[in-house]
Each structure stands twice: as C-alpha cells, then as structure tokens.
Structure 1
C-alpha cells in the first residue's frame, strides 16, 4: 500500500469480483489450500448475497468476509470443517437457517493495522441483527498452537490467549470482537498442522433476536413510556377527594399513552388528617384502614385507563404487624405487591412498621420491573437481586422531608441504574401537611435515570421535574439499549461481576 490515505468503502460481493478474491485468498491462505473454486464463491453469492461482504480501496478488494446460514441447534454442537464445506468445495448453506456461520474473514497484508477485520465483523453483527438471526457461529483455527503443543494442552493454550499471556492471530482477534469460545472441536481441520487439527467453536449472540411471533400478545414491547406524578400534599376531605385527584393524574398520563404511572410513597398521608387527637401509631393504623379500598380503586383505574400503576406505597396491617407496601396494578387486572424491606428509624420508632422479607421482579406487558420503596434504594444488594432476575426498570416511590434526604434517594437511585444496567424512575411528593404529624413537610425533584454510557444522555438523566412543584413528567425508555449495553457497552458491570468473591445475591420467594 502506498502512503496515500486509502479510500475505503464496504459493499456486498459481486460475481465479477472473483479474480480479486481468489488472488487475495492465495496470498493469505497458502498453508491451507489458498483460493476456493469460482463455483464455490458464485454459490455463496447466489444463496446468501447479503452475507458476502468486502472492503474496497477505490476498486481494489482489500478485505473479505464470507458467511452462510445454518441451523443453530446443529452447528452449536461439535462439527468439522467438512460439515461446512465438503471435499468438493460445496458450501452447506441452509436457506432456512436461524444463525449465521462465519466461513472466513481475510485482509490484504498491506492493509493490516487499519482495523478492517473489525469493520467486517461489525458489518456481520449488523446483518445478524437486521435479519433477526439468533447468533453468529464460527469455527476458528489456532495457528500458533504448534509452537506450544509440547508444553500446553489446547485448553491451557486457549486460556493463556484469553488472558493475553499469548497471542494467536485468529483466536485473539475473535475474542477482541466479542466472540466467546463455546467448545473445543477435535479434528475440525485435520490437515491444519499448525493447529494440530483442533478448532474452536466461537459464538456471538444476538441479544435482539426474537422468536417467531405468532400473536400480537407475543410481541415484546421495547419502547416504554414512563409517567411520574410529583404529588402535591394537600388537605383532603375524604377518600373520594384523594382518589379523584389521583384519577386526574392517571387520566392525564393515559392520554399521553404512558405505559406506567408512578405515585410517591405514602401519597395518601393527607387522610391521616381526617381523624384528630390520635398519636402517631394510631394515625398510621387509621391510614391503613383505607389501603384495601385504594388498591381496588387503582386496579379499576389501571384497567379503565389502560395503564400500569405503581400506587406509591400505603400502610397495610397483616395480623398484628404493619407493613409499608407498594402495589403494582397491571392494566390486565393483575395485582402484585412489593413490601418495603428496610424500615427507616422514623418508621420503626414513630409508626412501628415492620420490614418485608423478599424482593421481587414482576413481568409486565412493558418489561420486567421492580420496586424499591424510598430507603430501599439506598441498599445496593436489593438492586443487584433484581438485576439477577432480569429487571429492566426499577420504580422508586419516595417521601423525603429535606433536600439532603432527597439527595440520598436520588444519588443512590442513579447508582442502581449504572451498576445494574437498567432504568430507574423516582417519584416523590411536595408541599406540606401542617395538621399531620411526621409528614408535615416534603421535598422532591422526581426524575428518570438511565445507565451512563454512550447510548444514553450525557448526564444519565432522561427527564426531571422542577423541584417542589406539582407536575407530571414523562420519559421514553428503550429496552433494546439495555441489551446493547450489556454486551457492547464501554463498561459492562453485570458481565464483570466477581461471583468468585461475593457470589450471587438473588433470593427467590
């Protein structure tokens, strides 16, 4: 290559390209037979034209990726090179295959160092996503193994390449392009003396893959609209007064096609002002007398307005114990509950509230969601338990009286979004209740947070309310971005967990 800047472009291979492809294969693969016959390349172009990709510098082909379609269930198991290309150089392409199989990627020696191989791999990945293939599979040679075969077994050699203690021109490149070694294949290419006949089965999973959709109910919703109510505490005359105000917000969010409505913790506290002369324990238990009716009315609203509702939290009496419970009212009529796990000193001392014993993740028609009630957001173990159950959105209904209390919830919620690669919505209350002890003042600035990476806003905040103002806010969250982050993010927190040190945190019911 001369010292002029190359003019590179990527395109699919055409029939007229064979001579250049053959010359390049002869140059790159002299040790394993060189170029394939023209009939083989023509057959690839005919059977899977989109899978045959090249990079050209002006009119010169300088990099090539050749690919076929295969059955994932068949070729994710051990196989040989002849199962892919037989002794007559006939390609075993499966027109109905659900996975791609990388036959070869090769780059002109003069153009190495320009990361053309990565461009070709990225093009394959994009094709895999666009065509909804399950994965990209590849059988890989380990051409420098022969130098270490007298001292290292093949698994030991692969492990050292993974740890970058050794470099293998093929395996190191595939690992750098997010492929995982799934298994070792003995006798993959017997004539490959450098690899001692061994091959690695490599796999890159398409996390956007969707099984065949047979019903509208099977379609996974990927763009979800969150609605958060920043609730004004005010004097209420009765339960109907409270629920009319709540229904106003639910109706408004529904009109904007929101999938979820989030209310704050103890949004129903104004009802404590209906009964005078009570001590704090009596007041909170009086408030609990409304909770079953509130739950049922919200459930009716969820169905009527076609929106999933996180009904803040309410006190619930079970036996002699009092709990702080958040209800998830699904728009199909289902009802789920999350009990607050960690009870604040105030709740324990003034209201004698007990903590729950399990954290859950709920399947909804708009993603897998969890609920951390206020103080619970400050304990990373709970968010990690949810992450290990596949949570995509965490809702945090909160009540804080001062800005420093609010900051604890906000900052910890942002941390939960980052470390667990999920969205977190926080919703609080504002205003004051001068006639209600222990909930007399409020401070809130509700918000929706994302992980912090290139796929999301630079400050990892999708939206936030004005501080201490009654209002609603919206955020559209893209669940597919979470999948992309999980595999291709600048950092991948969930993948890099050190379970060998601290194990798993999941606790099933």
Structure 2
C-alpha cells in the first residue's frame, strides 16, 4: 500500500453553552507557523523549558517529512490547537526511548514511511479553548489516519503532570494505576484515557518535565480493523 498524499480537512459546527462555533481540523502549512508557536507559549509556560517550544525550523521539517501527520484545529477562523505525528516501527518489547530519541529532537527526520505505528510528537490546545473538546477532535482525526494508512496503532508518551504531587506517597507505576482505576485524575493521562488510549508501559527520563518528574506513560490506541483475535462469521 502506497502511503502519502493524504490531505485532511473536516469542517463542522460545535456547540458550547448554547453558542455555535465553526470548527475546522486540517493539515497545517507554513502560513500557520506563527500561530502554532503562540499555542506552544500558552500551553507550556515556565517551568516548562522554552527551548522545547516549536521552532519554525522544526515546523518546516514536519510538513516536509510527513505533512499527513501535521494537523491543526481552527475555531471561528483562529488556530486554537495542533497535533504532530510521525511514523515509527514499534514493538512492545522494544528498549526504552526518550522523546528526543524517537522524534529526532522534534525534527522528525527519524520518520519511517513504512513504519507500523503513528507516534504522537505533540498535542496542544490553547487553555482558553480546552472546554470545547478540541484535543479529542484532533485525536479522532489521527485515529482516522491510522485506519487509512492501515497502521497497527497510534502511540505516544503522555506527560504525568499530577505525579509530582503524589511522588512522596507512591511510585510512578502506582500513580498511573490509580489514574486508570479512577482513584486519581491526571490532566494528561486522564484525557488520553478518555480518548480511548491505554497504557503500554512507563518511560523514565522521557522528557525534561518538572511536573512529571521526567516520567511519561506510553499510551496507545490500537487499530480495531487489525485485531487478529476477532473472528467475524458471515
């Protein structure tokens, strides 16, 4: 199956508190770069390191190597969020990796056109727009890409920003288990669970992230059309 050349655009009306919004999920282009960098500033304020915000060089690399994995969401014509992915080869028993290693420091030159997994580099939504459910809309768009490209899964390392509050009481694995069971809520892990993603394993020293104590939960959504354990009788 030849991959590439997919142009994504989905437009619809969204309603929040009785007010209609025109929402468009589409591939981002060079014309969007300034808006995408502003989203990073708003989403990742200090103590998150500024050098981890997108640069125009990185964004150029995204649209060059894998434009299908570079999407944004507009609300009433204004960019309010973005999501970036690349293709990798992944097996659950692969060695641990960091965000820098698997994404080539965010430049995605590590993109493998014949990879089996759509890997999330970043997902960001402006704080003022988060009640609109835009993150889920972008995640659903990428699930459609997984199916369209006949991949095994969508995968990515989810930050665990609530962990630092509980680290003196439990380890990272216990924390994630409590989030999965619903005993605790985590701003990122709980969001990913609500999007249908499940933990595969934990990654230590995944990303410089004070709130998560550098931990991340590697979480996946598996392509339901590639589940070999399901038999359909006609």
Shorter-chain TM-score range: 0.7 to 0.9
What do the CA deviations read for 1:18-42 (whole angstroms, capped 9, x no partner)? 0000001111012143521111111
Partner of 2:232: 392
Q: CA offsets, 1:104-142, max 9 Å, x none?
A: 111111111111111111100001101111111101110
**Partner residue of 1:209?**
226
CA distance in 2, matches of 1:391, 1:35: 45
Aligned to 1:199: 216
Matched-pair contact (CA < 8 Å) for 2:202–2:215: yes
TM-aligned CA distance change 1:73 to 1:26, over 3 Å: same
Query: Quick check: 1:59 aligned with 2:80?
Result: no
Q: Does the alignment pair 1:29 with 2:29?
A: no
Is it true that 1:180 corresponds to 2:198 in the alignment?
Answer: yes
Match of 2:31 among 13, 16, 19: 16
Instruction: Decide whether the 8 Å contact of 1:72 with 1:134 is kept in 2.
Output: no
| Pairing partner for 1:45 from 57, 60, 63 | 63
| Gap change, CA 1:80 and 1:8, over 3 Å in 2 | same
Deviations along 1:60-81, one digit per CA (max 9) or x if unpaired, are: 1012111111112389542111
Secondary structure of 1:96's partner? coil
Residue 180 of structure 2 corresponds to which residue in structure 1? Answer: 162
Secondary structure at the counterpart of residue 202 of structure 1: strand
Residues 63/90 of structure 1: CA separation in 2 closer, same or farther (3 Å cut) = closer
Deviation at 1:99, TM superposition (A): 1.2
Q: For 2:31, what is the secondary structure of its paired residue?
A: helix
2:134 matches 1:119: no
Unpaired stretches in structure 2, ≥5 consecutive residues: 1-17
* Change over 3 Å in CA distance of 1:14–1:390 after alignment to 2: closer
Question: After TM superposition, what 4+ stretches of structure 1 lie above 3 angstroms from structure 2?
Answer: 73-77
TM-score (norm 2): 0.84
Tell me, yes or no, if the aligned pair for 2:92 and 2:200 is still in contact at 8 Å. no
Larger Rg computed on CA atoms: 1
Q: What is the aligned residue count?
A: 214
* 3-state SS in 2 of match to 1:155: helix
Contact 1:13 1:52 in 2 (8 A): yes
Alignment of 1:235-314 (within 5 A): none
Partner of 1:151, secondary structure, is coil
Stretches of structure 1 that go unaligned for 5 or more consecutive residues are 211-219, 221-388, 394-476, 478-509
Task: Report the Cα distance in structure 2 between the residues aligned to 1:75 and 1:84, rounded to whole angstroms.
Answer: 15
Determine the C-alpha separation between the residues in 2 that align with 1:75 and 1:68.
Answer: 20
Assess if the C-alpha contact under 8 Å between 2:59 and 2:107 holds in 1. Answer: no
Select which of 85, 88, 110 maps to 2:103: 85
- RCO greater where, 1 or 2, for CA within 8 Å and sep 6 or more? 2
Q: Distance in 1 between matches of 2:20 and 2:75?
A: 10
Contact map agreement 2:157 2:218 (CA 8 A) in 1? yes
Partner SS for 1:97: coil
Displacement of 1:162 after TM fit?
Answer: 0.7
8 A contact 1:71–1:94 mirrored in 2? yes
Q: C-alpha distance in 2, partners of 1:122/1:101?
A: 14
- Shift in Å at residue 391 of structure 1? 4.3
TM-score (norm 1): 0.40
| Alignment partners' CA distance in 2, 1:119 and 1:75 | 30
What do you get for the CA RMSD once the two structures are aligned?
2.3
Q: Deviations over 1:439-466 (max 9, x none)?
A: xxxxxxxxxxxxxxxxxxxxxxxxxxxx
